Amino acid sequence: MKTTRSTAPAPTTQDEYTVDVFTVVNGAPVQWRIDTRTTLLEALRDSSGLTGTKRGCDQGACGACTVHVDGARVLSCLMLAAQADGRQVTTVEGLVGEEGQLHPMQEAFVRHDAFQCGFCTPGQLMSAVCLLREGRAGSDAEIREYMSGNLCRCGAYDNIVAAVREAAGGGA
Amino acid sequence: MRAFVYDCPDAVDEAVASVAADPQAAFLAGGTTQLDLMKDGVWTPDRLVDISRLPLRGILVESQQLKVGALTTMEQLAAEPVVAQRLMFVREALLAGATVQLRNMATIGGNLLQRTRCRYFRDPTVSACNRRSPDSGCAAVDGVARMHAVLGVDERCIALHASDVAVPLLAVDSTVLVSGPTGQRRVPLSEFWVRADEGPSIENVLGHGDLITEIDVPLLPNGWRSGYLKVRDRASYEFALTSAAVALQMDGDMIADLRIALGGVGSVPWRAREAEEMLRGTHVDPVRFEQAGRAVMASAFTVPGTAFKVDLAVRTLSRQLLTMTEATP
Amino acid sequence: MTAIQSRPGAPWVGQGIDRVDGPHKVTGTAPYASDVTMAGMLHAVVVTSTIAAGTITKIDTSALLTLPGVRAVFTHENFPRLNTPPVIPFGDTPVAPLQDGRIAFHGQEIALVVADTPQQATEAARLVEVVYAPEPALLDPADGRPEPLSYLPDTHRGDTEAGWAIADVRVGASYRTAENTNNPLGLMGCVAAWDGDHLEMHDTTQWPIALRQTLAAVFGVPESGVRVHVPYLGGGFGAGLNQWAYKLLAAGAARALGRPVKLMLTRPQMFRLVGHRPDSEHQVRLGAARDGTLTMIEHRATSLSSLDHPAVGLLTAGTPQVYACPNVATVERTVRLNRRYPASMRAPGEAEGNWALETALDELAYELGMDPLELRLRNVSSVVHPPSGLPWSSNALVECCKVGAEVFGWSRRDPRPSSMREDGLLIGWGMAAAFYGAYLAMSRARVTVYADGTAAVRAAATDIGTGTYTVITQLAADLLGLSPHQVDFQLGDSDLPAAAQSGGSGLASSLSNAVIDAVTHLHGELLDLVGEGSPLYGLRPDDVVCRDGALCRRDDPATQESIADLLAGQGLLEASGDGRVRLPDPATAGMCHAGGFGARYVEVAIDPMIGRLRVRRVVSVTDAGRVLNPKLARSQILGATVGGIGMALFEETLTDPDTGRVANGTFGDYLLAVSADVPDVEVIFVGEPDRFTPAGTKGVGEIGLVGVPAAIGNAVFHATGRRLRSLPITVDQLVM
């Protein structure tokens, strides 16, 4: 996918506390003209209306805001939107197929009741999808360790492990 | 968060010059500590120079050492095969040090520079903090202090340096390469941090505009084994209460040589040279292990909340020495 | 249950179908309050006090108004005057905010900054300068005065001193639990928008109707003009039961500015402004005959609360309920301090009280030289409710204990402390019994059938993750003879029929009762459409059922009329029935309405050298009456178990002794259990549908937490021989 790279900020067009960011979100090019303070989380939610990514602490300690940047899972609350310039961002909205079909991990989460209130779920899903890519679903203990950056106050951990295990091909 | 100008230079010299020229400017790398501090209002730069696109990412493997670009992420360093072969305790400390999301963002250079987790330091409405504002006092000494330091501290400041990976990096005598306004220099990690009891408001020897560009990490010689033990309440995703990085070479049942550093206890990552000297050339002896630990912790300064750490650190070290001396290389 | 099942797959109740709202949640499309935006919406940030007691003498905000984007700064000097909030049982509204300059706790709301963007508001809020006249704060519980709780009198049965005197074996000890903070992952907050006297609020409440009532009273507008939306919320665990000040701040600011206002709390503010489980201290004395028969139980307990807000209490409420002891006394007090407001948190009071009582029973078992399970079985009053003498409407506690023991392998336990070892680890097995009192509240519901054969259920309830959407859909599908996908359950809107709160584990029971009643009224509505020539003519509502889009004779389903035809005959497009909770009169029902029962079995492994504890196994057996959906009910028990592990081992909200400031109010410092802390939990349901409620349910949201801390602590004793009586149990207590 072609990406554009800006040299931010652009002082001639806006005041010096504004930055232009060009990025690709869920496969589509996006441009944000935003306050330099804006985090990637805020830009996704407030500028692009992608509210699936959640703010649970805004301090990098709960994982609810997990998204993929260039294929790696990161905390969008601890990343300036400007730092995503020229990068590929994927959010939970990007997991759904082009015809609206659920991602196998999303299906597994529903089947295993791997959530309750659903608030941490987008972050859990984004972590879980990466976890498989990282090759870290070899055992339940491994899944638990590498999913521990995503808090679930409803306590759905056992079901999340079951969903990840199934999506990893280990059966239900 | 205070408004700031955002700058994203392409070259190290440009970045250094940009920060050096503006007393209110600062570098921004992975952001995992910095953005948090900015949101808390503890750190309020007017200009952020984003170095995350500088060509300082990657690991060069040499015969005796690794040259680690300062922007290499924790996850990247942990994934380096040579680290698993020759610096196992670095790998273990990295994996125990943060979640995958944080490891994908946090850089090795930034990790060495992480600020204390002390909640009094991180809450600007608390006025007594010698680390934030010199001579204002220390609220933590009389406050809730469980995650605080007992070594290299006194009543002026008990801030903990909470890094895990810095502990084994210190144990193997790593050095950092610094680019600054006056050129390049090399600083051994053993001389890099400043203990809180030597001046609570100064954390390291970097001056304004100084940028860590590389960390040189000596490889353990063949035949050495190493490991990192982290004791914490949760099974994952928590800072250490105490930790021990141990590397050693056995000669039969004798410890031919060893390196020890402790985490979770010091205002800086803590090299345990007394313990190394007491144990080098001795036979495996749990009693001696404990004595070595006690010697390291003899200078501890404790408050009620941290008193348990003295004994726990001794136990943590003893356990890790037992594990390492029993292990097969 | 009155339904006749016809559709393939029926009955739906009792099946573990997937959550009906699941696809919305896994795609990020479920709308939470934090996701709401409106045209012209402003952003508000709360400023909080940095002292615990005193008054504000000066609060200078003029400079802030010159900052970019800042629209208003409200303080007690310029915030609209509010009417006194109404009293709502179990969900009290704290004192109206910004009405005077008085400070009652550290972290109290003292100003509100409103700006165009959240970044601007946040930065301006940081710059508010306040001058205080501090006063000595009452922070040390020892300086406070224990007060009785108006709604929880001391209880006595028999003569506890006599029971103590005749006991062959006696134990007595003090127990403590720490302050825990609910901390739902969803930050609480709202969007408030006015149109004249009409107020619309998107919020994170667990109780939309109470919020509507509060907002109308506080702002002096008709209840009919206040509408609260909460289709989804990011958990609550009790934090959403009260009508917290932030809601009034947002609504007041929105009214004053004539613009919609969004106010989301920060995570540190979640530790200060939306309640918590307060610290508690317990003194328990138990006496028993040599054979283990209890001769007395005495439970004295004290919790901490705030100056302006009463304690939640209920620490001792469960103590007289379970065991057939003739001599029982409970005494409960609260101490008011300059501290933030306590509120309900998952199994409020019972979680703490059970920890004390069930730990004391374990101590008694060791004093007796008796198996802890045996001690419970000897004393459980499984037929009669001890305080009232009435039969329980259901009680499978004995079965919980026995099934759990069997599955866990309890008989293989060597009772001697430190006797079970494995690879240098000390293994401990512990158990505890659990009880959670029944709770039902008035609810209404409306059931509507349409000409196209589909149906809707409507009630102003919430689904906080417990599965309300799903289980009521299942129930209605059975009652209407439809499939779940033909039934749309609409909730989370205060314009819908008033429903109970998601609280007290009572919503499913209350709502299902109302839905059953609504369907009966729907039958009446449909019968009203039947012509004289119809075979259904003249039947009563109880004589018919709905099935596959037809109204049928209950005793002869082949005799039926198409609902579509009945509607068309009168030119109607739909028919509805309104229902409400209808219960037997407790006074004449001849039974005691039972709550949930449970037994928890836990295995811990402890590395004594470094104090490392891991929970390796949990078997959790629960009698929750009828289980509407076993998949979702299991999730409730799993989640509550995780909460219990957190309460036992990690969670402790700490307060600076000198200032009253929350010392660890972040997720980096206040530890919730993470995935790696939790073993595979075995969840088992036993028991029968409860006789007291039409649906036979008893609630599953809270009972799963009760007993977990005590079972863990008892396992720690078994592993180490060390009796730890203060939660949380941490590394430093376990090094040996």
pLDDT in tens, C373-420: 999 999 999 999 999 999 999 999 999 999 999 999 999 999 999 999
Q: Which residues of C touch A58 (CB under 8 A)?
A: 266-267
Burial C606-628 (b: 16+ CB within 10 A, else e): bbbbbbbbebbbbbbbbbbbbbb
Q: What is the pLDDT of residue C585?
A: 80
pLDDT tens digits, residue range A80-113? 999 999 999 999 999 999 999 999 999 999 999 9
**Closest Cα in chain C, distance from residue B142 (Å):** 8
Helices (H) and strands (E) in chain A, counts: 5, 5
Residue C223 DSSP symbol: G
Chain B residue closest to A37 (CA)? B3
Question: What is the pairing mode between strands B47-50 and B25-28?
Answer: parallel
Q: Do A153 and C681 touch (CB under 8 A)?
A: no
Q: What is the pLDDT of residue C92?
A: 72
Contacts of C among chains (3+ CB pairs under 8 A): A, B
Q: Do C632 and A161 touch (CB under 8 A)?
A: no
Where is pLDDT greater, at C52 or C6? C52
Q: Do B312 and C735 touch (CB under 8 A)?
A: yes
Residue A8 pLDDT greater than 80, yes or no: no
**Closest Cα in chain C, distance from residue A169 (Å):** 19
Residue C728 pLDDT greater than 50, yes or no: yes
The predicted complex's ipTM stands at 0.97
Burial class (CB in 10 A: 0-12, 13-18, 19+), C97: buried
Are the folds of C40-348 and C394-436+594-734 the same? no
Q: What is the pLDDT of residue C309?
A: 76
Facing residue for B308 by CB, picked from C614, C676, C732? C732
Q: Which of the residue ranges B182-186, B266-270, C290-294, C312-316 would you say has the lowest mean pLDDT?
A: C312-316
Q: What is the pLDDT of residue B327?
A: 66
Rounded to the nearest integer, the mean pLDDT of chain C is 96
Chain B residue closest to A57 (CA)? B36
pLDDT tens digits, residue range B64-80? 999 999 999 999 999 99
What is the mean predicted confidence (pLDDT) over C642-669? 97
In this complex, is the C-beta atom of B64 within 8 Å of any C-beta atom belonging to chain C?
no
Q: In whole angstroms, what is the distance from residue C74 CA to residue B174 CA?
A: 54
**Closest Cα in chain C, distance from residue B230 (Å):** 10
Q: Do B231 and C610 touch (CB under 8 A)?
A: yes
pLDDT tens digits, residue range C26-44? 999 999 999 999 999 999 9
Residue C363 pLDDT greater than 70, yes or no: yes
Angle at B319 between CA C735 and CA C679, to 5 degrees: 65
Q: In whole angstroms, what is the distance from residue B308 CA to residue C255 CA?
A: 54
Q: How confident is the model at residue A13 (pLDDT cuts 50, 70, 90)?
A: very low
**Closest Cα in chain C, distance from residue B135 (Å):** 20
Q: Do C675 and B236 touch (CB under 8 A)?
A: yes
Q: Do B117 and C119 touch (CB under 8 A)?
A: no
Facing residue for B105 by CB, picked from A17, A36, A79? A79
Residue C374 annotated among the catalytic residues of the structure: no
Q: Which of residues 53-82 of A touch B (CB under 8 A)?
A: 58-60, 63, 66, 72-75, 77-80, 82
**Block residue for tokens 């504002």:** B133
Q: Which residues of A touch B52 (CB under 8 A)?
A: 83
The amino acid at C491: L
Q: Please give the full DSSP string across C548-582, using - where no structure is assigned.
A: TTEEEETTEEEEEEEHHHHHHHTT-SEEEEEEE--
Q: What is the pLDDT of residue B183?
A: 95
Whole-number Cα distances in Å, C371 to A51, B296, C366: 54, 46, 8
What is the mean predicted confidence (pLDDT) over C635-657? 98
Contacts of B among chains (3+ CB pairs under 8 A): A, C
pLDDT tens digits, residue range C611-644? 999 999 999 999 999 999 999 999 999 999 999 9
Whole-number Cα distances in Å, B56 to B11, B31, B70, C203: 10, 16, 6, 46
**Block residue for tokens 């029993």:** B326
Q: In whole angstroms, what is the distance from residue C676 CA to residue C696 CA?
A: 36
Closest by CA to C126, choosing from C70, C190, C181, is: C70
Report the DSSP beta bridge partners of residue A67: A74
CA dihedral of residues C591, C596, C597, C600 (deg, nearest 10): 180
Q: In whole angstroms, what is the distance from residue C698 CA to residue C516 CA?
A: 16
Q: What is the pLDDT of residue C587?
A: 77
Element at C195 (helix H, strand E): strand C189-195
Q: What is the pLDDT of residue C664?
A: 97
Q: Which of residues 14-43 of A touch B (CB under 8 A)?
A: 16-17, 19, 35-37, 39
Q: What is the pLDDT of residue A7?
A: 36
Angle at C411 between CA A158 and CA C427, to 5 degrees: 55
Rounded to the nearest integer, the mean pLDDT of chain A is 91
Contacts of A among chains (3+ CB pairs under 8 A): B, C
Domain boundaries, chain A: 18-94, 104-170
Report the DSSP beta bridge partners of residue C60: C129
Domains (range + CATH), chain B: 5-50 (3.30.43.10), 225-326 (3.30.390.50)
Report the DSSP beta bridge partners of residue C433: C599
- Mutation for A interface: C185, C262, C666, most A CBs within 10 A: C185
Q: Do C635 and A159 touch (CB under 8 A)?
A: yes
Q: Would you say how long chain C is, in residues? A: 736
Q: In whole angstroms, what is the distance from residue C496 CA to residue A136 CA?
A: 47
Q: In whole angstroms, what is the distance from residue C180 CA to residue C705 CA?
A: 13
Give A104-170's CATH code, choosing from 1.10.240.10, 2.60.120.620, 3.40.50.2000, 1.10.150.120.
1.10.150.120
Q: How confident is the model at residue C100 (pLDDT cuts 50, 70, 90)?
A: very high
Q: Please give the full DSSP string across C113-167, using - where no structure is assigned.
A: EEESSHHHHHHHHHT-EEEEEE------GGGS-EEEBTTB--EEES-HHHHHHH-
Q: Which residues of C touch B239 (CB under 8 A)?
A: 668
Q: Do A7 and B8 touch (CB under 8 A)?
A: yes
- A18-94, which class in CATH? alpha beta
Element at B100 (helix H, strand E): helix B100-105
What is the mean predicted confidence (pLDDT) over C530-544? 95
Q: Please give the full DSSP string across B156-209, using - where no structure is assigned.
A: TB------STHHHHHHTT-EEEEEETTEEEEEEGGGTB--GGG-TT--BS--TT
Domain boundaries, chain C: 22-30+441-582, 40-348, 394-436+594-734
Residue C73 pLDDT greater than 60, yes or no: yes
In angstroms, how far is the first alpha carbon of chain A from the final one?
35
Give C22-30+441-582's CATH code, choosing from 3.40.50.720, 3.30.470.10, 3.30.479.30, 3.30.365.10.
3.30.365.10
The amino acid at C144: G
**Closest Cα in chain B, distance from residue A79 (Å):** 6
CB atoms within 10 A of CB C251: 27
In angstroms, how far is the first alpha carbon of chain C from the final one?
56
**Closest Cα in chain B, distance from residue C113 (Å):** 14
CB pairs under 8 A between A and B: 89
- C40-348, which class in CATH? alpha beta
- Mutation for B interface: C66, C187, C610, C671, most B CBs within 10 A: C610
Question: What is the pairing mode between strands A88-90 and A18-25?
Answer: parallel
CA atoms lying within 13 Å on the CB side of residue A137: 21
Closest by CA to C703, choosing from C690, C685, C680, C676, is: C685
**What tokens does A75 get?**
């905390």
Q: Which of C123, C179, C281, C702 is catalytic?
A: C702
Q: How confident is the model at residue C313 (pLDDT cuts 50, 70, 90)?
A: confident
Q: What is the pLDDT of residue C431?
A: 98
Whole-number Cα distances in Å, A97 to A94, A102, A131: 8, 6, 19
pLDDT tens digits, residue range C242-251? 999 999 999 9
pLDDT tens digits, residue range C251-261? 999 999 999 99
Q: Please give the full DSSP string across C332-362, using - where no structure is assigned.
A: EEEEEESSPPP---SSTTHHHHHHHHHHHHH
Q: Which residues of A touch B48 (CB under 8 A)?
A: 36, 80
- C394-436+594-734, which class in CATH? alpha beta
Q: Which residues of B touch A80 (CB under 8 A)?
A: 6, 28, 31, 35, 48, 50
* Segments of chain B with pLDDT less than 70: 327-329
Q: What are phi and psi of C625, to 5 degrees?
A: 70, -145
In this complex, is the C-beta atom of B46 within 8 Å of any C-beta atom belonging to chain C?
no
Q: What is the pLDDT of residue A3?
A: 31
Report the DSSP beta bridge partners of residue A80: A39
Helix (H, G, I), strand (E, B) or coil at B212: strand
Q: What is the pLDDT of residue C637?
A: 98
CB pairs under 8 A between A and C: 186
Chain A residue closest to C680 (CA)? A158
What is the mean predicted confidence (pLDDT) over C589-608? 96
Facing residue for B6 by CB, picked from A9, A77, A130? A9
Chain C residue closest to B147 (CA)? C669
What is the mean predicted confidence (pLDDT) over C337-345? 95
Q: Which residues of B touch C668 (CB under 8 A)?
A: 117, 239
Sheet holding C455-458, edge to edge: C487-490, C455-458, C444-450, C574-580
Q: Are A161 and A102 in contact (CB under 8 A)?
A: no
